[in-house]
Amino acid sequence: MEQPPPRSVDRRHDPDRPHRAPLVVLLTAFLVLVGSVAALGAYYGRCRGADGEHRPVTFTVADGASGAQVVDELAAKGVIRCGGIVGRLMLQKNGSSDAILAGTYRLTTGMTLDQAMTVLTTAPASVPTVSITIAEGLRITQIASVVQHALKIPASQFAAKATAGTYSLPPYLPAGAKTTEGFLFPDTYEFAKQGTTVDAVIRAMLDQFSVEAKTLPFDRSKALGLTPEQVVVIASMIEREARVPKDRPLIAAVIYNRLKEGMPLGIDATLLYDDPTPDGTLSSSDLKYDTPYNTRLHTGLPPTPIASPGRASLLAALEPAHVSFLYYVLCGANGSHKFSDTYRQFLDDKARCLG
């Protein structure tokens, strides 16, 4: 009798068939895990190292500061490479968190965490220090005078160094910029009373600008059609023009609206920055002075900031009010301004506010 032909066997549901797909998934996940661990290990190793320029840094540990706060501040000032979670892991491995002592220390950039902890766990020598407060809206020449008074560094030496074109702070102050005007952040600083150099003061102020800028939405500069440096230029004008906080985003809006319309900004504070007769006032002849800082004669932005803006003015430059104003005039005993859309309304406001 003939045998029936053998039937094909479907082994897809055969319990003895090897389960290849799950094995591939597991192998892939394992390789990703290994790669991630290797990458984290490499990053951790880099964070433990140090290189680069060794610039002096005056570092203050506040009373009651946690180890995590100290590590993050060390990273922000460029003393060590990494803060955050990795910095805290390094501190845990170092084992010095509870031994950090409050005080003011002399560190440098480009240190390892272990090197920094060796200093911060040793009681600092009693070094006389001096506090310097830089107010918002000061220009380099005025900052130089404050530094001279506090540290006896000649104002001319400070101003020359700050305008020598040797400093940069990417992406805010590009390499090759001729001046640090606008980037010496207004704040209170503490320096050693003796031995502090001009370079140390300038770099401390630039470093503080970088710290503050990282907490602001500078990524909006592209949407505004500006470079980060140009945002600082606008912020410096806001700082010089605004007298009350509520006016800052409105003044910013007027600046952006005028730029969009191709109108001269007409901000006299820019001409006062390059006043041919620096007496704090503008004569009729001054208003005709042909300088890139005369925003009555020239459209667009002045070539550099005109002062050091504070955080509020920087934020206003990055987040202008959504209004159509093109004009404003000082109006009010508290220093507030009256804003308008049209030149006719501006003239009416000017007559009423200034008489």
Domain count, the chain: 3
Q: What is the mean pLDDT of residues 150-170?
A: 96
pTM of the model: 0.71
Q: What residue type is assigned to position 155 of the chain?
A: A
Shared domain for 290 and 326, answered yes or no, is yes
| Partners of 132 in beta bridges | 189
Q: Are residues 84 and 193 in the same domain?
A: no
pLDDT confidence of residue 333: 87
For residue 157, pLDDT over 80 is answered with yes
Give yes or no: residues 166 and 284 share one domain.
Answer: no
| Short-list 44, 113, 48, 102, CA closest to 79 | 113
Domain membership flag for residue 43: no
Asked if 160 and 182 sit in the same domain, the reply is yes
Share of the chain above pLDDT 70, in %: 87
In the structure, what pLDDT confidence band is assigned to residue 96 with cuts at 50, 70 and 90?
confident
| CA dist., res. 352 & res. 345, Å (int) | 11
- 191 plus 236 within the same structural domain: no
Domain of 162, in residue numbers: 129-213
> 343 and 264 share a domain?
yes
Q: Of all residues in the chain, what percent carry a pLDDT higher than 90? A: 63
Q: Look at residue 228 and tell me whether its pLDDT is greater than 80.
A: yes
Domain boundary, last residue among 194, 213, 232: 213
Residues 80 and 50 sit within 8 Å (Cβ to Cβ) = yes
- In terms of domains, do 62 and 170 share one? no
Residues 25-43: pLDDT tens digits?
666 665 556 555 555 656 6
